[in-house]
Each structure stands twice: as C-alpha cells, then as structure tokens.
Amino acid sequence: MNKNIHFLLLLFCCLVSFVSCTDETPQKQTSGVAHLYIKGGTLYDSNYPSNAELDDKIVTLRILGFDAMGMCVSNKRYEAKKGDIIKHEIQKGTYDFVFLANEPYPENTSPLNGISFYSDLQSISYPASAVNSSDEIPMSQEIKDVEVLGNEGKSKIGDVIYDPLTLGLSRLATRIDIQLESNEDLTADFKGVTFEKIPAQVPLLSGVNTSVARDITRQFTVGQDYFQQIAPTTEQTARGVIWVQQMTRFILPFSNFTPTDEGDKAVIFTVNLENQYNPSAKLKIHTAGVDGAEKDNYTLPRDAALLVKASVTLPFELNISVSNWGEKKGDWQVQDRYLNVSQIEADITDFNGARITFSSNLTKVHVLPNVYIGTSGTTTRLTDETFNDLPLKDGDTNSYENHIEYKTSRFAYTYGKNSKEGFGYMDILLDEYNQIGEQTFRLILSAEDQYGGKLQREITVRTKQLGFRFSHMSFDSPYVGAFFRDAETGERIITGQKARMGSSSELAKWTAWVENGEDQVIISTTPSFDPNVGTDSPGDPEKYPVVPNEYKYEGGTYITGRGRVYFRVGWKTANNSEASGQDNLKKPRYATIYLEHDVSWGKTADIIYVRQGEADDYVMRPEDNIGQGPLADKSRSRAKKVSNFNLTAELFLNESNKTNRYSDLSKKGAKFVKYPSQAGALFQWASPTFPRRAYNPAYPSTNNLGTDWSEIEYPRPIWDNVSGEDITGNIKEDFELCPPGYHLPSDGYTDQVSYNGKYPNFKRVDGSNNYDCDYEGNPATPIKEEYEAQIEYSEWRQSMWLNPIEGDIGSWTGSLRLYPDRIVERYITSPDYSGNVDDNNLKQRIGFYADGYFDRRPIRYQPDGSSATTRYAVSPETAQAAYRGSLIFNPITKASVFLPAAGRRSPNYELGKLYYPGETGYYWTSSASAEFQNTENSNAWTQEYNSWRPGSISTPSLNASSIRCVRD
C-alpha cells in the first residue's frame, strides 16, 4: 500500500483496557457460570500524540452477547478506563459479541438497555451530534464465534485461546486535519470553515450509511481551538505562500455509501472568506481497480484520518496525504500501481481554464493525442486541435540524473528515479476548437511504466463559448493594452489564436516578458479560474489575483507558450505613486510587455501597454520635444491631461439600457463611463434643437433613431465667440457637456474657423495620375493659402501626436478616389497594412483593450448601417457596448490612453443610423472647419481613428460622435 495515495483511509485498531464494573443483570443461561476477561493494556495509541488522550479515550463499554439464534443473553454497560481488566460474567458457551464504547446516552435511559435480539441493533443509530470534537468518540467492534471456556477468564476463537480477550475497537468517526495556504494575506478575510452534507445518523455496526439523510452542516469560526496561524515553511515561501492556517482535529460522523462515486453524497468543505469568494470542494479520493480502471470515491469510512493540504485558489486545490489515525491498517486494499487525479470533470469557457493535478508511481504520465467528442461514443478529434498544448511532442521529454521530466507549455510531469513517484499538473484551455456553443470532450490521462503497464483516467471537460475568438495578429485585433484603476491589481486577460507554422504544422511559439515595470507588473500563464468569465456576468477580476505559475517555475516577468496566446497581467500592489492633484487619485504608473511570436515569415513582436491609475494624465507631455512638422522645436504649450473615459448619460451609465434611444442632459451634465473600452453616448455638435442630447451608442444597432435630422437647427460651429456673422450665442457657455474641471479639446481656433493647412485644395487620385480639381472633380487650379500655423492652437494634436502636423491627415492611397468633400490638404501618413501607425507623427496601435470589462465578456456580432463589413462588440445593443479601438502611446514615457471605436450616427444615412462601430472612432473637438463646397452644412474638426485613416478630418456637425474630454 503506497503512503502517498490521495485520501487513503486506514482503519484504526484500538485495544482497550478498563477498570471497575457493575454487577451483571441476570441473563438467559446455557450451562455453567464462566467469566470472560477483557484486557486493554496493549492499546494502540493515536498517531497524533498531542491529541492521543482525546482520540483514544474510553469512559464506558457495553458488552452484548448473542446466542446462535440471535437472542441477547448478555447485556451490560461498564465504567472503564485504560489499564484494568473487565471481568464479564456469562454462561459457558459460544456467542457473537458486540462491544460499544462511549455510547452517548445516560445509563438508565439508554435505548440499548432493551436489546432482545441481534436484529434490534439494526434499528438503533447514534445521532450525528454524538460524534464531535468535544466528547469521547463512539466506538464499536463485533467478534463472532467466541467460545467462553470454563477456565477462569479464558476464551477461544478458532484454535487460538485468549486470556484475556483483547479488543480492537473502531471509531465511528472521521478525523480531518487541514493546512490552508495562500499567496495573499487572508488574515482579515478568513473567518473559518464549513462542512456540509454530513450524515444525520451513525450506524452502530454497519460501516455503510448509504440511505441516511445528509443534511447536517457544521461551521467552525476563527477563535476556536481548531485554528492556529503559523509561519510558512521554506518550501512554501519558495512557492510564494505568505499565509498559512493550521486547523486540527475536526471530528465528523463517517460517511460511507455505495456506489462510492455518487458525488451528490459527498461531504463539502468550504473556506469562509468574508470579503472574497468562498472556495469549496467535495472531499474525495481516487481508487485504482483492475486494469487501471479508476473511479472517484466520495466516501469517508469510519476510523479514517485525512490530512488535507489546501491552497486558496480557483479551482480550489485539495492535496491529500496519508495519515493513519492508528496503527491498524484498514479494509481498503489499493494495488501497487496508482494514478491519482485531483478531478475528473471540469467546466470551462473560452476565457478561463481548469487546473488538474495528478500523482503516480509509474514512470510516464501523458495526455493521449485524441479526445472523444460528447459524453459517450468513440468519435474523436486531435487533442491539440481542441485544447492548448497538452500532448507531448518531440523534445518534450528529458532525462536527468535523479528525475525524468515530461513538459509542454500547459502540462508537466516529473518522476523521481529514486523515490519512484511523480507529480504533475495540466491547465486545460481551449485552443483551435473555436466554435460558439457548448460541447463536451473526454481527454485521456495515461500513466505508463517501462514494461507496458498502464493506468488511464478519463477526464470530462464541458466547454462553453458565447462569442468570437480572434487571432493574435495585428490585422485581426490583438490586445494592445491593459488598464487598472489605482486600487486594482487583479487579472487582465490577454489572448489570441495563433496559426500553425510551416509544412509540419507545428504549434507557434511565443514569449512574453515585462519590458518596463518588471518590479511592479506580474504576468502568468496560469489561466483565469473565474467560473463565469467569458459570459455576460463574469466575476470581479479583483478576486482573481495574478500569481506566477509555480508548476512552470515562473518568476512573474517572463513566460512562454505554444499555440494560442493566453496569459494574465496583474500588478503586485495598488498604485503607490505620488498624488496626481486630482481628487484622491494617484499619478498613473505605466509599464510595457514585449510579446514575441512566430509567424509564417519568421518572428514578429508586439508591445502591450499597461497602465495603473484612472487619474487624467498627459500622453504627450508639455516638456516632450516636437522634432518635426510645422511646430518643430516649438513649445507644446497646449498639451492637456486627457481623460481615460468617454462621455455618456447617467441613464446609460447605470444599466444595460436597451430601451431609451437618447437622454437630454444639463450643461456639463455628462458622466464618464466606467471602463475605457466602453463606447459611451454619441453626441451631435451643439445642436440648439436638441441641446446636449446623448444618443444611446448601440440602440437599436440595426435601426435608426426615428428622428428627422434634416430639420435640426445648427449654428455655424464657433465655440466661444458671442459676436460675428452667423454666430448664435456662446456655444461653449451653453452647450459644454464635459463635467466640471474638463472641457472639449480644441483642434485649432475656437473663436473662428480653423483651416489648419493649405486651403482650398481638392485632389483626385486616379492611380498614378493625381491632380487638383474642383468640388465636382473637374480639373482646376485652386488658390492655396497657408494656414498650417493654426495647429499651434490645437490641444488635441499637441496632446495626442508626437509631432503635430497640419491638414486633414487621413489617407486612402492606391485606388481611384474622389475627394470633393475634403477642403484642406491631405497629409499622407504611413499606416502599415495592419493599421498600426507608428511613425514620426502618430503613435497608435489598433486592437482590443484588457480593462476588466472587454477582456471578460464574449465578443459578439454587432450589425450596423453598412453590410460591407462584419463588426464586433462586447455587450452589443446595450448602452454598455464596448469596442476595440486605438491605443495612443508616448514612446518615451510609455504613457497611453485608449479610444474605443464607437462609430457614429450619420444623418445622411437613414436618420441617425449607427455606422462603423468597432471599426472607427470619431471624436469631436471644439474647433470649426470650413463648410463643404456647395452645401449649407456646418463643419467641425473631428479626430478619426481607424486602421487606415487616423487623424483630423472636417466633419458635418449633424453627425453624432464620441467625446473625450481634457482637463481645464
């Protein structure tokens, strides 16, 4: 029997001795009076010396003798203690004896006094309250065919004569000792533990209680004698453990039933954490049968002792080591080969994973290359096409002097050549199986020895995917950043699919490391254990801290993987920077993660920008040098601190609003959304007809707003001038929506039209034939005037551009395009094919943002007014809609801000229908631009961010776009 079997429960042999007795009640006699001597001087002590007095204590013993017909011929209860002999008077003859120690009833009223037949014992059970940690533990033993001899005190069983007869009583209980550990300090949160589904009745003789009710709950609270906080060991400290709670001697009624794999009858153990989740697990063992067949065993047989080592994680990890309660070996016989698995069922989404640990005494453990589809049947698919990097591949096995190691990026098993034992883990995470819906798979964990012997465990994995999963390539929206508020340190999930490499279709390799901020940021390949992440109701990321994967010996700053990119990002501490000067907020902290990964043409790399702190901050700072363009070597005097969040209405902020189309706001009455990736509301540019109206960003995504926007009155959009032609009042004074302390940023003048470049200049692009034209596209020679110096007044360009440049800075190149609506010179930028603009002007990355909202919910299809492009969103068709977008970063300080691509509502297309959500972000400024040629529309400067035309454009003020505020 191997000492390392999980939940191996060994029965206790207790030899008891007693002193004193009372006169026996007259019983039916056979022939001749005799005395049976019972001695307990060789009592087997508890293997817990500090508790031996309680574990082994006996205060009463009842002796019942039954004749061959099952009739009770002797029934007497004695006061007893260790070291003396009981002299029990009975007629000579052969009997079946039952011995009951520490019965919980008063002697005069005990129901055991009225036993007439052996069958009467079947109807008597002790209540669960009789088995506890405070009172003496009830015990029993049954010895059949005992011949009481005429010789004083002697008895005979078979051919063996006893003088005296020694007993081996069995406790009607299970003892549980627990060591609870955590990688975070739980002193303030830990309140105790709870055991549920304890059997309500305790049979006296049968070791099985299948049919009894299991409805007893026992809760133990800190402050009782069970609990002691102790210092971590050196080994625990090496694994990052900082908090250890030792809990000693929980005595529970035994729970034994058939079939033993009925999980509904399992005793449930829960850790009570007041301010966090309460991890729980069913107590169980694994038993190995013939030919490797194994089952979960949820029983807790009597006289069993469990030593539980538990780690406060999700899933809740219970590692059980053998602990004999006494010296007698139990009734369970386990074969020499074993493969113990922490769980054989798991439920995962496409956002989380399941960690399964296992141990064996066989040389090799690995995952078979095929999984079965469904709960039954033999249809298979490749494991690597279903789950991330579990089967072994060439080069994954290494033999060393003292051990053999089998390791992939999601699986490891280490076998000790000297100890002849091994331990391993696997993280089950979906990979190329990327389909919306629910599916069940059965993967096989196989333990094998060098002689061909095998033990195999079938593990059922139920999967759920509610949205789309994208590849980690720049053209398919990788994660470009992660955001945390000051107090937030919990998990942010970075993920993306990877295509296989080369003709051999090998899994693509990837490596990530903390490039800046390595003393502050943690990255880990351990998957999220939030059971609801990936649904519309995920858990709080703060309850899932990021810790290095101890099974891969990660240090927290460098990780590797194969296949699907998946890791988590967290901070070691809350933001402890200096005060920002904004409320009670801290100055934001920034870090970067460098992610290098295989692609078909070799290797490529991305930088993920990490921010902790919601306080407004500069992207480009006033002291940052302007090296190129019209403002080269000039002061960045109008750079402003930029908010992290888009504006919305309170009506849309506090609920997932699917009903209201708009909300009318008071002056400076807009609110910030909670997460940077959320769209917020869409606003027209200061309409007197509908002043300060916030339109629902996604309602309804396929319909218009039902308003005739052509009748909306618009002034010429001059922001803060109260005099002059075509100017109606002071728009700034009347229509500012940014909350107090903020304002709508300028893009040039705010008290007159800003041209921001050469004007007018229309260009027709016809292959290589580019020429000036009028607004109808006819060749012309426009008069050009220089206005590029006006961008010195642009708060937006100075705040968000490394080198502010003039003009309408979008670019469509390489095809026939007519631009009669463009009234300023087009400044050609250099976006690459993927949409990442990182040149000497704009520092932008396009993709997803892990802000604790977008990275935890399914990404679904978001229909809009155009059928040309498929678009996606988190929480589509609600006011909480969130999108991919543009991350603007400072290459020197690593400061960053994210602008979600919320699209716009356009009056020219079906009365305010939603267009381009998830593709383009449009952000108003407070600067007016020149009117369109041959139209009466009023135009304002808008910032447009997408993968091909990022920058400032002149936009009709009838459009409804996003607002991003800057500090006053």
Q: Which of 261-270, 282-291, 700-709 has the lowest mean pLDDT?
A: 282-291
Burial class (CB in 10 A: 0-12, 13-18, 19+), 395: exposed
Q: What contacts 768, CB < 8 A, 6 or more positions away?
A: none
Q: Is beta strand 304-311 parallel, antiparallel or unpaired with respect to 173-182?
A: parallel
- 794 pLDDT band, cuts 50/70/90, is very high
Q: Which of 882, 797, 806, 812 is nearest to 843 (CA)?
A: 797
**For residue 253, what pLDDT is reported?**
94
Q: Which of 1, 80, 39 is nearest to 168 (CA)?
A: 39
* pLDDT at 608 exceeding the cut of 90: yes
| Type and span of the H or E element at 235 | helix 234-238
- Are the C-beta atoms of residues 153 and 163 closer than 8 Å to each other? yes
Tokens representing 119? Answer: 């069958």
Q: Residue 777 gets which letter from DSSP?
A: S
3-class secondary structure, 627: coil
**For residue 167, what pLDDT is reported?**
84
Number of Cβ within a 10 Å radius of residue 231: 9
3-class secondary structure, 114: helix
The average pLDDT across 243-262 equals 90
* pLDDT at 6 exceeding the cut of 80: no
pLDDT tens column, 59-112: 899 999 999 999 999 999 988 876 668 888 999 999 999 999 999 999 888 999
**For residue 69, what pLDDT is reported?**
92
Q: How far apart are CA 663 and CA 665, in angstroms?
A: 6
How far is the CA of 903 from the CAs of 648, 873, 945, in angstroms? 14, 11, 10
pLDDT tens column, 822-842: 444 444 444 443 445 556 678
Sequence letter at residue 381: R
| Max mean pLDDT range (567-581, 772-786, 919-933) | 567-581
pLDDT tens column, 918-961: 989 999 999 988 765 434 557 889 998 887 667 777 777 888 99
**For residue 763, what pLDDT is reported?**
58
- 868 pLDDT band, cuts 50/70/90, is low
pLDDT tens column, 804-827: 888 775 444 333 333 433 444 444
* Bridge partners, residue 653, by sequence: none
**For residue 902, what pLDDT is reported?**
94
pTM of the predicted model as reported, rounded to 2 decimal places: 0.71
3-class secondary structure, 710: helix
Q: Which of 138, 139, 103, 97 is nearest to 118 (CA)?
A: 97
pLDDT tens column, 117-164: 999 988 889 999 999 999 999 998 899 999 999 778 899 988 888 888
Percent of the chain with pLDDT strictly greater than 70: 82
How far is the CA of 75 from the CAs of 26, 36, 102, 149, 921, in angstroms? 9, 13, 15, 19, 89
- Are the C-beta atoms of residues 641 and 660 closer than 8 Å to each other? no
| Type and span of the H or E element at 247 | strand 243-253
Percent of the chain with pLDDT strictly greater than 90: 50
The average pLDDT across 183-193 equals 90
- Are the C-beta atoms of residues 403 and 415 closer than 8 Å to each other? yes
- Are the C-beta atoms of residues 11 and 344 closer than 8 Å to each other? no
CA atoms within 13 A on the CB side of 941: 35
Find tokens 């801000």 and name the residue.
897
